[in-house]
Structure 1
Amino acid sequence: MKVFTALLAAALVATSAPTAARADTTWQPGTAPIATPWTDEVSADNALPEYPRPQLVRAKWQSLNGVWQFAGATQGEAPPFGEQLGERVLVPYPVESALSGIQRHEDRMWYRRTFQVPANWQVGDRGARLRLNFGAVDYETTVWVNGIEVATHRGGYDGFSADVTDALRGRGAQELVVGVTDRTDQTWQPIGKQRNVPDRGIFYTSASGIWQSVWMEPVSASHVERLQMTPDLDDESLRLTPHLANGSGSGRTVEAVAYDGKRVVGRASGPAGTELRVPVPKPKLWSPDSPHLYDLKVRVRQGGKVIDQVDSYFGMREVGKAKGADGKLYLTLNGKILFNMSTLDQGYWPDGIYTAPTDEALRFDIAETKRLGFNTIRKHIKVEPDRWYYWADRLGLMVWQDMPAMRTGGTPPVDAQQEFERQLREIVTEHQSWTSITVWVPFNEGWGEWDRAATGRIADEVGAQDPSRLVNAHSGVNCCASRGDSGRGDMIDFHQYVGPASPAPTADRVAVDGEHGGFGLEVDGHMWFGEGHAYEMTPDSATLTRRYVENQQDLLTVANRCGLSGGVYTQTTDVEHEVNGFYTYDRQVKKMDFARVRDVNRAIIRSVDGTGANVPPTSPGTPGLTGVGYWPLDEGTGTVTEDLAGDHDATLVNGAGWTSGRAGGAVQLNGVNQYVDTGAAILDTSGSYTASAWVRLDSLGGFATAVSQDGNTNSAFFLQYSGADNRFAFSFAGVRALAPTAPEPGRWYHLTGVRDAASGSLTLYVDGQPAGTASSCVGDASSGHTVIGRAKFNGNPVDYWRGAVDQVHVYDRALSAAEVAQLHASGQ
């Protein structure tokens, strides 16, 4: 890959910039439970010294990272102007982190330091303005310079700046005070995975206060604030809009020059505030295999004089959708189908929590992801510092960018909804020019979602705001607290653990597996807690590698049969209690055989090309309405019930008893441990099949399964009552075809679940009528027993039926709607 020009590359390292006075060395780091290879490299004098904004580089700048004074605060407390605060914090590490030196949460806090403006900047009456920049502060921030309020900001993931020139007082020391309030999950503010009290599951330590770089720079009154860059491959140009402070004054023009190395490839100029078309003839396209980048120099002129100049870069690439040879819709990059092989990346660090200890550490996770054979990263409900996207651009990883979610549980109030949308728009605006970002993801698994129609509207609005990228309206729309599929955006995205999930594309939306896998391994001496959690634990590295490879081979099968465009494996590194990473949380131990991981990942990328694979022919199955297994459950006594369709007489387990049924007798189950075991895997669940039963629930609330068949980890299917939805359902793990209304306890219902492998659908019938459908292209093969009255999930028996079950049938084919209606009418 081409190296950046000497000027830009030099501007991105610490030695290019003026340095602040030596920091106060009374700061002392805390001790994290585990340390990364970079923890000890951090000192009071070198806190993230690199230029923080690689797409808008100025030659003159000064970092304000380093040791600041610090104190906790109370609500309504006056700012501590002129006061010495009692603690020292290392900026920009969040106060909960060991590297900050504070290592505790504060709802409210003060930061204080002094700074001096270099005399050669000629700020103030001599022309230049002083700009103070904050990469990100979590969450509500007020900034004072010399006792004068210069900025307020709300939002923990977007940057902000202030012109502080008029607050300066002559030469010498200037006082900077920053007040921050961050109540994290006590409010409805966007927080991602942060929690004030992290659990031993999927939520982690909070990250409060200043957590991205702070710096200052001299600028002209009219200067470039942002470059909006969109490559146009059809036009062989870069669409460039320089956004200037103080508008587009008379006689002000902008000139842009694009370089490939030292060679000029295109120029454009025009009035300030207008879009420029910078020619890039015969462009070298950016892709994960060849992440080519062009340099860009932008100058603002007034009356022929250059009043501002910034250096930047861009890549020429295009993301989209196209039909493959198999007729299914796929993701494309530069007009070619490219499977998005991705990791789920949380962006957490044991020493810096939200902030990587060094720039090399920040680069490390991206470089290792690339080395493992991935071409995509899903940045999971966190927004990173600009230098993270710079490394993704340079190293060649596509990025699905999540919006940080509000907390889970309940419905956010209207003002929180509005604030979430405002911050989402701002995050898209600030990140609209990164080459690596290809997909926006507003919602995850229903976390903080308030209305399905609103989710669809938001997806449409993000797509209109940035039509150059795709929108994944709702990752994990099948999961958890989801309000359901809005039908909007460019993707339908299912989550399934261990999976993979198998949604099918539609005429206008590609299908992706947004999360799967999550295989875990504990490594002594390298864990945040004394024990760990994963979706499936393994005993050693060899088993972990084998299970990963098997799971990815399953992903390849799903991708080719179903037309899947992407798969996201959980996850890059262990995080706190989660031990399902390729690396331990401290980045010290490789947990898998990386060569085997890389080989299977690259094989999937090569193999998914839109040609599809032959779907196994569907067997016509056994004709008639008796099925291949039929248990009338009429015995009324004993512990064995006869199979009238085959030779799989079933056993009543743990004292399951008898009661009056819908027709004759029925089995009565206690909802705790009783069920009926047929003793065999009667159905081939990789193909089409049907399960049917008359059921009566004694009570609602909590899952209860009438008929299922055990798989290795989960039941291959569930004919059930879903307590999460208070509806009857026919389900795969993570996918439910739901009835429209809640059932009544004590009433008999006829449930039929039809799996049609040819159409990739699940259909639930209630009392002979279609009640709900869902898409899942590939069924789980299972060799476990067909059972009545319970299910299996995460390797454990669960969801015991509480009530009566009668007249159970299973079929080795998909019954038609007419046959289901006929079966219901027969009473059997």
Structure 2
Amino acid sequence: MRYADGWFLLLLALGLPLSPVAVPGAAASGAVATAPGPWAPAATGTLSRWGAEVRLGHVWTHYPRPQMRRKEWQNLNGLWQYAIEPKAHGQPAHWQGHILVPFVAQAKLSGVGRSVSPRQRLWYRVTFRSPVLKGGEQLLLHFGGAMYRTHVYLNGQSLKPHDGSFADFSYNITGDVVADTRQTLVVSCWNPANKGPEPCGKQQVGKPGFTMHLVSTGIWQTVWLETVPQVYIKALRITPSVRTQQVSVTPLVRRPHSHIAVRVAVLRAGQVIAEASGTPDRPVLLTLLQPQLWSPNHPFLYTLKVELVEKAGVVMDTVTSYFAMRSIRVQKGADGHPRIFLNGKPCFLLGPLEEGYWPDGAYTPPSNAAMKFDIQAMRSLGFNMCRKHEIVAPQRWYYLCDRLGLMVWQDMPAAFDDKTAASQAEFKRELTLMLRQLHNHPCVVMWTLFNEGWGQHDTNTLARWIKRRDPSRLIDPASGWTDHGYGDVKDAHIYSGPGMWPAMADRASVLGESGRFACPIGGHIWRASWAVFQHNVPARGTAASNKLRAAWFVLYKKWALALMPLIRRGLAAAVYTRFADQISDHCTGLITCDRGVFKAREASIAGVNREVLRYAQGFASPGAGELSQRNR
């Protein structure tokens, strides 16, 4: 494999005219947000324009679980007390300051901006008022995500610890709430990252090096309260079938009994188009006549209403959700090459590697608007997919992809300790949580199990287990390097490329990483002292900067157009590395790490990408039939 950062040495030699391309409204590097009270962004790192808009009392206020909504909820995000203590110590006697939840201690927007080593633990404390509970109502405490081992104490009572950085978790705290007083919530988090047994993705203890990120310790998604009835819907499992024109909805219910039924309705434009009833914890099948299919160009979503009903007709609980009808599979195209088919039609997948990392929020975007910007930008650049790399995003990210029509290849975050039975069991446990948490999102079209051999073990056994559990999606067992002969796709990483594995009889050939052309933009590097390009980076708007962008676009266009002969030879998908510059030493993104400057005009990049996709449409004839059952 050849790495493309060396292309930087060639860039200044090229000189086509191209103006600087700023994102409208982007804040200059180093801008500082002001806020009342004891909080301000930490001094370290770069602030995005969305980070500059963060204010106390308005921190991640959107409903955190779009796939299962209720009306009553209470947001606990905001200023909490914090302390960083040795791991072996108990709850701190004194607090060291305030931290803005849900940003981790290392993040600029937390107001702390301090590292937390594997020998330390991050502690939190906050008080809140409990809603008044009536008629047997229950109170749930939800954490969208916390890294990695989390201990929770409410009013001095220890709740069950949670292990896992990327899955949400909840507690029924009804019996722990004290009436007529403020409740005291204490939380501790410990994260050994790549020095421990857990799936941690690209987190690296110490100074991030080649391709890696800072360790994130603590709460990184919304913390919230929810009031529910005594018997309530815990979760929904939604599985559509384009082939049968049906959707299966399984409402999982807490404490179901024989006097309770579930009622499910599908709505389109506010009108009920299908209804059915059933029993808790069992699939309810609904048939849709001439269903509208979801695709990037038509991301149509049906509304779902699920009620828990007593035999007397009294509605006990109601949740709303949504789903889409779409199918994804690999089968032979008219030219005989295995290709990816979306809704029964060949579809070339083209998109960037997307790591969801922000210079001011780490794995937590500064706001819902910031997160939405990323997805809209990928669509406006002409991409129809992205590879979500080594991170499981907040659920609202997938909701926005569902709404905006961006297909997602979802990585399982890597665990670098793969040698012990305990670490392998932890990997599978957290893999199971990811599959469960993202199952209902139509945007997720493929699971990527391992990346470049990181923590790779039992590859085919795990891949077959995933395929049995979720036959509605493709499986990429090993993105790059160590392929074991099974899966819907065979995935190559070729830098700078592009390239491909030779076409096969029963698997699609895809390019999971490629490109990576460096274009550092002065004033938009996370920490100049950490960047490979810290010296002689031209200032934005100068003639040298304009030449640099022009040269970058020449290389990107050459890379993208070189996909065309590969498509003719059977290439089914391609990923450019990457969407946004990394904070460590990679300035190879389509946009800077603060999302302040595109490396070329959006219309120019989109024009090239759409030309590639139009070329691929030439292979959009009906398929030539099924593949071997070996990889099904």
Deviation at 1:118, TM superposition (A): 2.3
Q: Which amino acid aligns with 2:361?
A: G
Deviation at 1:514, TM superposition (A): 0.2
Deviation at 1:606, TM superposition (A): 2.1
The corresponding residue for 2:97 is 87
Counterpart-to-counterpart distance in 1, 2:69 and 2:532 = 43
Offset from partner CA, 1:79-117 (integer Å, 9 cap, x none): 35xx66231110000110011111112231111111111
Deviation at 1:261, TM superposition (A): 1.2
The corresponding residue for 1:529 is 527
The corresponding residue for 2:431 is 424
2:605 equivalent to 1:607: no
Deviation at 1:141, TM superposition (A): 0.7
Equivalent position to 1:115, from 119, 125, 128: 128
Counterpart-to-counterpart distance in 1, 2:485 and 2:251 = 35
SS at match of 2:226: strand
2:374 equivalent to 1:376: no
Scaled by the length of structure 2, the TM-score of the pair is 0.87
SS at match of 2:206: coil
SS at match of 1:401: strand
Deviation at 1:411, TM superposition (A): 4.9
Deviation at 1:345, TM superposition (A): 0.2
Judge conservation of contact 2:246–2:286 (CA < 8 Å) in 1: yes
The corresponding residue for 2:451 is 444
The corresponding residue for 2:289 is 281
Scaled by the length of structure 1, the TM-score of the pair is 0.67
Give the 3 Å change call, closer, same or farther, for CA 251–610 of structure 1 in structure 2: farther
Counterpart-to-counterpart distance in 1, 2:159 and 2:253 = 20
The corresponding residue for 1:492 is 490
Offset from partner CA, 1:181-201 (integer Å, 9 cap, x none): 112222132111111223342
The corresponding residue for 1:252 is 260
Judge conservation of contact 1:266–1:279 (CA < 8 Å) in 2: yes
SS at match of 2:428: helix
Q: Which amino acid aligns with 2:130?
A: V
Q: Which amino acid aligns with 2:186?
A: V
2:317 equivalent to 1:316: no
The corresponding residue for 2:560 is 552
Q: Which amino acid aligns with 1:30?
A: A
2:465 equivalent to 1:435: no
Equivalent position to 1:100, from 110, 113, 124: 110
Counterpart-to-counterpart distance in 1, 2:489 and 2:207 = 32
The corresponding residue for 2:626 is none
Judge conservation of contact 1:201–1:533 (CA < 8 Å) in 2: no
Counterpart-to-counterpart distance in 1, 2:338 and 2:370 = 38
Counterpart-to-counterpart distance in 1, 2:468 and 2:532 = 40
Deviation at 1:293, TM superposition (A): 0.7
Counterpart-to-counterpart distance in 1, 2:109 and 2:527 = 19
The corresponding residue for 2:625 is none
Counterpart-to-counterpart distance in 1, 2:432 and 2:177 = 33
SS at match of 1:130: strand
1:186-225 to 2 correspondences below 5 Å: 186-225=195-234
Q: CA RMSD in A?
A: 1.9
Deviation at 1:575, TM superposition (A): 1.1
2:65 equivalent to 1:53: yes
2:471 equivalent to 1:467: yes
Counterpart-to-counterpart distance in 2, 1:65 and 1:279 = 41
Q: Which amino acid aligns with 1:307?
A: M
Judge conservation of contact 1:138–1:208 (CA < 8 Å) in 2: yes
SS at match of 1:43: coil
Q: Which amino acid aligns with 1:457?
A: T
Judge conservation of contact 1:560–1:612 (CA < 8 Å) in 2: no
The corresponding residue for 2:540 is none
Report the structure, 1 or 2, having the larger helix content. Answer: 2
2:54 equivalent to 1:42: yes
SS at match of 1:170: coil
Judge conservation of contact 2:418–2:424 (CA < 8 Å) in 1: no
Q: Which amino acid aligns with 1:467?
A: P
SS at match of 1:161: strand
Offset from partner CA, 1:670-719 (integer Å, 9 cap, x none): xxxxxxxxxxxxxxxxxxxxxxxxxxxxxxxxxxxxxxxxxxxxxxxxxx
Equivalent position to 2:315, from 306, 313, 335: 306
Judge conservation of contact 2:375–2:400 (CA < 8 Å) in 1: yes
Deviation at 1:250, TM superposition (A): 1.2
Deviation at 1:513, TM superposition (A): 0.1
Q: Which amino acid aligns with 1:99?
A: L
2:372 equivalent to 1:363: yes
Counterpart-to-counterpart distance in 2, 1:76 and 1:252 = 48
The corresponding residue for 2:82 is 70
2:518 equivalent to 1:520: yes
Judge conservation of contact 2:346–2:620 (CA < 8 Å) in 1: no
Give the 3 Å change call, closer, same or farther, for CA 330–63 of structure 1 in structure 2: same
Offset from partner CA, 1:123-178 (integer Å, 9 cap, x none): xxx31000000011000011111111223110000010010011111122011111
1:687-706 to 2 correspondences below 5 Å: none
SS at match of 2:399: helix
Equivalent position to 2:605, from 590, 597, 601: 597
SS at match of 1:608: helix
**Which of 280-289 and 68-77 deviates more?**
68-77
Deviation at 1:532, TM superposition (A): 4.4
Q: Which amino acid aligns with 1:25?
A: G
The corresponding residue for 1:791 is none
Where in structure 2 are there 5+ consecutive unaligned residues? 1-34, 538-544, 622-632
SS at match of 1:133: strand
Judge conservation of contact 2:45–2:108 (CA < 8 Å) in 1: no
Judge conservation of contact 1:542–1:593 (CA < 8 Å) in 2: no
2:597 equivalent to 1:580: no
Counterpart-to-counterpart distance in 2, 1:149 and 1:310 = 30
Equivalent position to 1:178, from 187, 202, 208: 187
Deviation at 1:533, TM superposition (A): 5.0
Total equivalences in the alignment: 570
The corresponding residue for 1:404 is 413
Structure with the greater alpha carbon radius of gyration: 1
Counterpart-to-counterpart distance in 1, 2:105 and 2:87 = 18
The runs of at least 4 consecutive aligned structure 1 residues that moved more than 3 Å come to 531-534, 609-613
SS at match of 2:559: helix
1:570-719 to 2 correspondences below 5 Å: 570-576=577-583, 577-609=585-617, 611=619
Judge conservation of contact 1:295–1:313 (CA < 8 Å) in 2: yes
Q: Which amino acid aligns with 2:207?
A: P
Q: Which amino acid aligns with 1:464?
A: R
SS at match of 1:308: strand
**Identity, % of aligned pairs?**
37
Q: Which amino acid aligns with 1:587?
A: R
Offset from partner CA, 1:741-781 (integer Å, 9 cap, x none): xxxxxxxxxxxxxxxxxxxxxxxxxxxxxxxxxxxxxxxxx
Equivalent position to 1:25, from 21, 37, 45: 37
SS at match of 1:226: strand
**Which of 201-210 and 56-65 deviates more?**
201-210
Judge conservation of contact 1:73–1:109 (CA < 8 Å) in 2: yes
SS at match of 2:562: helix
**Which of 488-497 and 33-42 deviates more?**
33-42
Deviation at 1:280, TM superposition (A): 2.0
Q: Which has the higher contact order (CA 8 A, sep 6+)?
A: 2
Counterpart-to-counterpart distance in 1, 2:179 and 2:526 = 49
Judge conservation of contact 2:511–2:575 (CA < 8 Å) in 1: yes
Q: Which amino acid aligns with 2:467?
A: G
Where in structure 1 are there 5+ consecutive unaligned residues? 1-22, 479-483, 614-828
